[in-house]
Structure 1
Amino acid sequence: MLFSFTATPDFDFITYFARHIQATVQNGLLVIPDQLGQGYIRKLAFGPDFKITIHRYLLKEDLIVKRHTSGQGNDLITVFFYNNEQALQIAYDEDTQVLFSQRDESAIQVTSNDLSSTLRFPARQQIQYVVVAIKPPRLTDLLAISEPNSVLQTITGNGNSFLFFERMGAETKLLLKNMAALDMTNQLSHFYMQIKVQELLYLVFHKLSLRESAAHQPINSADAERLLYIRSEIISDLSVPPLIRELAQVAAMSETKLKQLFKQTFGITIYTYYQQARMEEAAFLLKQGKHSVGEVGYELGFSNLSHFSRVFEKQYGLNPKRYSSS
């Protein structure tokens, strides 16, 4: 199933999607028809400039959502929380789709509404994601920061094109779970949700506020597509460190531009991203209990297991042996 729309400032996803699948919206709730699957989409508005849409469903066929930029400016900030174990395919250009989220990698996306994108949600898999849409003046009032860093200045500024990714921590996952489980017939449910959505935004923007200030490089859909592809290349073989020269050639960018845009988008350098992903894979393998510490270290390209233990302990606070038995 293909749903395509243009992201105009007044576009309301749930209304147009309901028309597309010939369903109705009642009190902000769209129940997925039985012939398409099961689940729901819920929208809550906290004024004309601040709303949240909660998606929880399992569909009988793939769902492809194409968002086209309206060309009317970017006066809306979108924060996308993808809380699934299954990877999601995303594209910012029409050419290729790459994986957006695997385990906890880059599961939160903050973007201006002038970037086109295509999302593919697989059939017969539980889909859970949340989209918060807020206008810059409202976000500025909520944050109430007297001296924001360059990232927050870019997001809350006028007419900037941006794309930032953050990892989803345990606190955010628990918050999303509690929000989804709320009994919306409770008279104070709307009040509760408004508080929790602001808490969600706090967790995201607290992380973004800690990023290093640097001059912002404008980004377009083609750049975003290349960056996701480079990220996919980095994690495709975690036993081999990335070579900036080769990645720059793949991205058709200068090495300087690639390094700047990658750090701006993901908050860390290419090598740091690689090393974190490497340790996350090590933690995953160790928790499975099917591999020894030595096997995991060698599989991830470490010839010196003492070095592997030091790098792992730096990220997780425990050496690999203690972590696997904890």
Structure 2
Amino acid sequence: MKKQSKEQMLEFAEKLGVPVFEQIANLKVLQFNYVRTIDLLPEMIIMMRSLVAKEAFSFRRDPITVIKNGLLFSFQNVFNDGQENVADLPSNLQQERSHVRITPSHMTSEVRFAKQSHIKQISIIIEMTYLSRFLGKDQPQFSYLFDADSTFWIEEFMSPEIASIVDQMLNNSHNVSFPDLFYSMKALELLYFLFNNLSRRESVSHQQVTRDEISKVYEVRNAMAASLDCALPISELVKISGMNELKLRKVFTQVFGKGLYTYFQYIRMEEAARLLREERLSVSETGYRLGFSNLSYFGRLFEEHKGMKPKKWSSHTP
């Protein structure tokens, strides 16, 4: 797949509310490995990119105006771009867990790159009315996404089905005869599996959230992720958030789709799965590292989340 020039990407990014030409001097800290944009306006825009931030870098992303009432779906770090072990890149590149973020296209946000961070992303901006036609009679259950004036931020876990579609978009498209049709269909496939995941989220009454509230629940999430061997007491999470307990629970569930305890156990089991398969730890080593003194309970919990016992998982080929 032929790469587009950096200049083409920058021009396209301006359409998406990214003031890149104001930041042109700072962009020298970004190393672009791969960029491709697919202009399907007025209904949809797709951008696929891989880059490394050599230094810390941030900018304010303005509202996206090229699509008036749109939703921005950002699929983060779901693919391998072949840069993980490149000789001239640092071996300690930081990378967020794979996830999907959903925001209204009119929302401003602060985009931050940590030093030595590796960003691999597929972004889809889609017009609300166009998307709602595909959802049809099922659209009302996602009404919180389709309020053109609302401000929200939703993060969802990645699924194997989504990862498979991303792989097809990146690696199997060089011989495609009708690229616009191919990418539009693949984008809709991604959204199909994403909405399937969203339909299983914990029920919560959606409310407007501020950027400060979003920032605070991410601080709570990061504190939980840094203490997987020992659940932090709710009093400490409340203190980090600066909210009362009821509001913290509501905002956290709205953003992440799971309550505090359920989310903690989920990321705990995701880390267990990684330790078993990638670091080749034994079941007992994994359980003890994650704070389980009862390995039988650890095994039952892991099987509930991953559908197989931890020992089988460690030897299973995905």
TM-score interval for Structure 1 and Structure 2 normalised by the shorter chain: 0.7 to 0.9
- In structure 2, the residue matched to 1:75 is 69
Instruction: Classify 1:120/1:59 alpha carbon distance in 2 versus 1 (closer, same or farther; 3 Å).
Output: closer
- In structure 1, the residue matched to 2:89 is none
Secondary structure (helix, strand or coil) at the match of 1:245 reads helix
**CA contact 2:16–2:64 (8 Å) conserved in 1:** no
Structure 1: how far apart are the matches of 2:128 and 2:233?
A: 38
Q: Deviations over 1:177-230 (max 9, x none)?
A: 221225468541111111101111111122112334432121111011001110
Instruction: Classify 1:47/1:240 alpha carbon distance in 2 versus 1 (closer, same or farther; 3 Å).
Output: same
- In structure 1, the residue matched to 2:48 is 54
Provide the aligned length of Structure 1 versus Structure 2: 288
Give the alignment of 1:77-92 within 5 angstroms: 77-83=71-77
Q: Deviations over 1:228-256 (max 9, x none)?
A: 11000111111111322221111110100
- Residue 136 of structure 2 aligns to which amino acid in structure 1? A
- Residue 114 of structure 1 aligns to which amino acid in structure 2? M
Cα offset for 1:145?
2.6
Structure 1: how far apart are the matches of 2:110 and 2:23?
A: 19
Q: Which structure is higher in helix share?
A: 2
- Residue 238 of structure 1 aligns to which amino acid in structure 2? L
**Aligned with residue 153 of structure 1, among 134, 140, 143:** 143
- In structure 2, the residue matched to 1:189 is 179
**Aligned with residue 125 of structure 2, among 124, 133, 147:** 133
- In structure 1, the residue matched to 2:111 is 118
Give the alignment of 1:19-30 within 5 angstroms: 21=24
Structure 1: how far apart are the matches of 2:147 and 2:206?
A: 12
- In structure 2, the residue matched to 1:234 is 224
- Residue 179 of structure 2 aligns to which amino acid in structure 1? S
Stretches of structure 2 lacking an aligned partner (at least 5 in a row): 1-12, 81-93
**CA contact 2:30–2:51 (8 Å) conserved in 1:** no
Secondary structure (helix, strand or coil) at the match of 1:145 reads helix
**Aligned with residue 320 of structure 1, among 306, 310, 317:** 310
**CA contact 2:19–2:61 (8 Å) conserved in 1:** no
Is 1:211 aligned to residue 204 of structure 2? no
Cα offset for 1:289?
5.5
Instruction: Classify 1:156/1:103 alpha carbon distance in 2 versus 1 (closer, same or farther; 3 Å).
Output: same
Is 1:269 aligned to residue 259 of structure 2? yes
Instruction: Classify 1:158/1:70 alpha carbon distance in 2 versus 1 (closer, same or farther; 3 Å).
Output: closer
Structure 2: how far apart are the matches of 1:47 and 1:259?
A: 38
Instruction: Classify 1:47/1:301 alpha carbon distance in 2 versus 1 (closer, same or farther; 3 Å).
Output: same
Instruction: Classify 1:58/1:70 alpha carbon distance in 2 versus 1 (closer, same or farther; 3 Å).
Output: closer
Worse-matched range after superposition: 256-265 or 284-293: 284-293
**CA contact 1:14–1:41 (8 Å) conserved in 2:** no
Instruction: Classify 1:189/1:323 alpha carbon distance in 2 versus 1 (closer, same or farther; 3 Å).
Output: same
Cα offset for 1:146?
4.4
Instruction: Classify 1:272/1:145 alpha carbon distance in 2 versus 1 (closer, same or farther; 3 Å).
Output: same
Query: What RMSD over aligned residues (CA atoms) do the two structures have, in Å?
Result: 3.3
Q: Deviations over 1:98-157 (max 9, x none)?
A: xx96433xx10001232422221655x6542111112221221122134622xx101112
Structure 2: how far apart are the matches of 1:37 and 1:158?
A: 35
Stretches of structure 1 lacking an aligned partner (at least 5 in a row): 1-9, 23-31, 87-99
Structure 1: how far apart are the matches of 2:64 and 2:38?
A: 23
Instruction: Give TM-score, length-normalised by structure 1.
Output: 0.77
Instruction: Classify 1:170/1:77 alpha carbon distance in 2 versus 1 (closer, same or farther; 3 Å).
Output: same
Is 1:201 aligned to residue 191 of structure 2? yes
Structure 1: how far apart are the matches of 2:193 and 2:145?
A: 15
Structure 2: how far apart are the matches of 1:118 and 1:59?
A: 12
**Aligned with residue 281 of structure 1, among 271, 274, 278:** 271
**CA contact 2:249–2:259 (8 Å) conserved in 1:** yes
**CA contact 1:115–1:220 (8 Å) conserved in 2:** no
Instruction: Classify 1:37/1:114 alpha carbon distance in 2 versus 1 (closer, same or farther; 3 Å).
Output: closer
- Residue 70 of structure 2 aligns to which amino acid in structure 1? L
Structure 2: how far apart are the matches of 1:15 and 1:116?
A: 10
- In structure 2, the residue matched to 1:7 is none
